[in-house]
Homo-oligomer: A and B are copies of this chain.
Amino acid sequence: VDKKKLISLARGNDPVDLVFKNAKVVNVFTKSIEEGTLAVSDGVIIGMGDYQGKEEIDLKGAYIAPGFIDGHVHIESSMLTPEYYAQVTIPRGTTTVVADCHEIANVLGRKGIDFMLEASETSVQDVFMMIPSCVPSTPFETSGAVLKAEDIQSYLKHPRVKGLGEMMDYVGTVHANKDVLKKIDSFSEKVIDGHAPGLIGQDLNAYVLAGVETDHECVEPHELIEKIKRGMYIHLRQGSQTKNVLDLLPGLRPEFYQRILLCSDDLHPYDMRHTGHIDHNIQLMIQAGFDPIQAISMATINSAQCYRLYKRGAIAPGYIADMVIFEDLNHLQVSQVYKNGKLVAKDHQALFDASFKTNQHVTNTIHLSDKALDFTMRLKDDLVWVIGLIKNNVSTHKIKEKVVLENSVFHCKNNPGLLKLAVIERHHKTGNIGLGIVKGYGLKHGAVAMTVAHDSHNIICLGDSDEDMVLAVKEIKSMGGGIVLVSNRKVIGNLQLDVGGIMSSKSADYVIDQLRNLEDHIKTMGLNPEIEDPFLQLAFLSLPVIPHLKVTDLGLFDVDDFKVIPMEVRENL
């Protein structure tokens, strides 16, 4: 950018690229609306004043706000690669994201991080990266990679790396685990994201003292206030599964509005397209009676401040010309989006193409042992621990069930309502298979398998027949990862997620359509009608950091005791 030219333009010496006349500009510094003419040139905000433009747009009183910033997101959860992700989220007004590529890093380690940095380099959206801190999330699962402090330090100099991704190992942090502290200290000149659900009191003091600066896991106002008091920035999250905005709203006070950010964390593509992205967080707040300009500030300048994204998140001279236009401040409906001063979306449609550049480092990531798959469940006793689903929740119940065994073997056909869950290691050909029994999902005569299985993204497979389960896993392998539905020995639907087994190389349209088809199919297979998202519900059954009973490739996992346990309730038989 020729600053000399821009300064001259600011003084009004020549026409700028573009002026918006009769604009109502949302000023996030004064929290007020400035009416008048806004000048933009060379991708930069010139300012408000008496400016002439080569192009002049009469906004007729419409609003212009800074482009929105998602303060914490796992792009991989959209199942889209960064460019396609931008195609869906930019039309909602999100011009910048602060992304933590935790998911792909669990599959591919540094190769995964490298891919996300490369793929986002060409994205129309600006993607700043937080480098994953917890790969793997726990030692009780086999992930695709293990990242030590030394492995992630090399990213410190990358211009788009803003810090360390969410430090989920808050137990390790408050116990001053050596590798955890080494990671935090390596990133001490940058921002350290947190993840500390429910942490308060002196343990929270310890966590913050260690260097953690943000948290997006608050679920109650009280917790939010405790964290703000200690200087943390708090994200109000509205994801597909975890929706905290409205619960936290009563805890907000004007005195600390500037410490509040908005984020999505994990959003499915259908939700992004139909419900929205950060615009949805804002709109929810407005509907609940919250001040629109304050909500927009949380989605813009506050995130910029927290993540040290200078000259971004405001409409002021010298700031990046990322702007959203909408008609009604009390009903946020983004009609146009400008990125670097160029119109990039209109009426919720992206005006740009996206593509996936073939990258052999991130495809072909299903590495199964050559051993035959065996899901036989031989038990020493008929009183067993069963995973009780909680509808639309990532937690589960740990329940006792008396099951019917046939020659000491559990079969679903003898136990209506119970399904077999298998987690099959798929990164290192270990042949590890962890097994469990699930109640409340409701599948009949079939199986579902997927490689989106938090956080190690092994293959997770649920079904009532071993044969169907084996077929589903084989189909997963031949697709290079994704979601597969098998009914009565036949594959009846799939979504190929060929990038690390968790993202598609195709567009959002493809992913949304396939996912819808799969959902339609699975609903005909006896699915518990209370389950809103059958695949999301499944994807978290392998996550060993969320209570109470899960399955990893190492076996049935008791989250409260933090160990692998036998299925039989009565041990030492």
Chain A residues in contact with chain B, CB under 8 A? 3-4, 6-8, 10-12, 27, 29-32, 34, 44, 46-51, 173-176, 178, 181, 185, 201-206, 208-211, 225, 228-231, 253-256, 258-259, 305, 308, 314, 316-319
Contact, CB under 8 Å: B49 / A10: no
A-B contact pairs, 27 of them (CB 8 A): A3-B210, A3-B211, A4-B181, A7-B175, A7-B209, A7-B210, A10-B205, A10-B206, A10-B209, A11-B203, A11-B205, A27-B229, A29-B228, A29-B230, A29-B231, A29-B256, A31-B255, A32-B255, A34-B229, A44-B209, A46-B209, A47-B202, A47-B205, A204-B317, A209-B317, A231-B319, A308-B308
- Compute how far the CA of A181 lies from the CA of B8 in the bound complex, rounded to whole angstroms: 13
Contact, CB under 8 Å: A3 / B185: yes
**Which listed residue, B30, B225, B229, touches A253 by the CB 8 Å rule?**
B30
Given A12-B202, A258-B258, A208-B30 contact (CB < 8 Å)? no
In the A-B complex, the 5 residue pairs with the smallest Cβ-Cβ separation, listed nearest first, are: A47-B205, A10-B206, A31-B255, A231-B316, A209-B317
> Can you name the residue of chain B whose Cβ is closest to the Cβ of A210?
B7
Chain B residues with CB under 8 A of A308 = 308
Closest chain-B Cβ to A218's Cβ sits at a distance in Å of 15
Contact, CB under 8 Å: A7 / B206: yes
- Compute how far the CA of A255 lies from the CA of B47 in the bound complex, rounded to whole angstroms: 21
- Compute how far the CA of A318 lies from the CA of B206 in the bound complex, rounded to whole angstroms: 9
How many of these chains are in the complex? 2
Q: Can you add 15 more A-B contacts, CB < 8 Å, to A29-B231, A46-B209, A211-B318?
A: A3-B176, A3-B181, A3-B185, A7-B174, A7-B175, A7-B206, A8-B176, A11-B202, A12-B202, A34-B229, A47-B208, A47-B230, A50-B202, A204-B317, A205-B317
- Compute how far the CA of A7 lies from the CA of B171 in the bound complex, rounded to whole angstroms: 12
Contact, CB under 8 Å: B229 / A316: yes
- Compute how far the CA of A14 lies from the CA of B479 in the bound complex, rounded to whole angstroms: 56
- Most chain-B CB neighbours within 10 Å: which of A48, A253, A255, A258? A255
Chain B residues with CB under 8 A of A34 = 229
- Compute how far the CA of A442 lies from the CA of B185 in the bound complex, rounded to whole angstroms: 63
Chain B residues with CB under 8 A of A225 = 30
**Which listed residue, B175, B203, B211, B316, touches A208 by the CB 8 Å rule?**
B316
Given A4-B181, A316-B229, A256-B206 contact (CB < 8 Å)? no
- Compute how far the CA of A316 lies from the CA of B230 in the bound complex, rounded to whole angstroms: 5
Chain B residues with CB under 8 A of A32 = 255
Chain B residues with CB under 8 A of A204 = 317
- Compute how far the CA of A255 lies from the CA of B12 in the bound complex, rounded to whole angstroms: 30
- Compute how far the CA of A308 lies from the CA of B254 in the bound complex, rounded to whole angstroms: 23
Contact, CB under 8 Å: B209 / A318: yes
> Can you name the residue of chain B whose Cβ is closest to the Cβ of A297?
B255
- Compute how far the CA of A209 lies from the CA of B4 in the bound complex, rounded to whole angstroms: 10
Given A29-B259, A49-B201, A225-B30, A206-B317 contact (CB < 8 Å)? yes
Contact, CB under 8 Å: B11 / A317: no
Given A3-B210, A209-B317, A49-B174 contact (CB < 8 Å)? no
Closest chain-B Cβ to A267's Cβ sits at a distance in Å of 29
- Compute how far the CA of A31 lies from the CA of B30 in the bound complex, rounded to whole angstroms: 19
- Compute how far the CA of A80 lies from the CA of B254 in the bound complex, rounded to whole angstroms: 41
Closest chain-B Cβ to A545's Cβ sits at a distance in Å of 20
- Compute how far the CA of A221 lies from the CA of B547 in the bound complex, rounded to whole angstroms: 55
Chain B residues with CB under 8 A of A12 = 202
Chain B residues with CB under 8 A of A231 = 29, 314, 316-317, 319
- Compute how far the CA of A305 lies from the CA of B310 in the bound complex, rounded to whole angstroms: 12
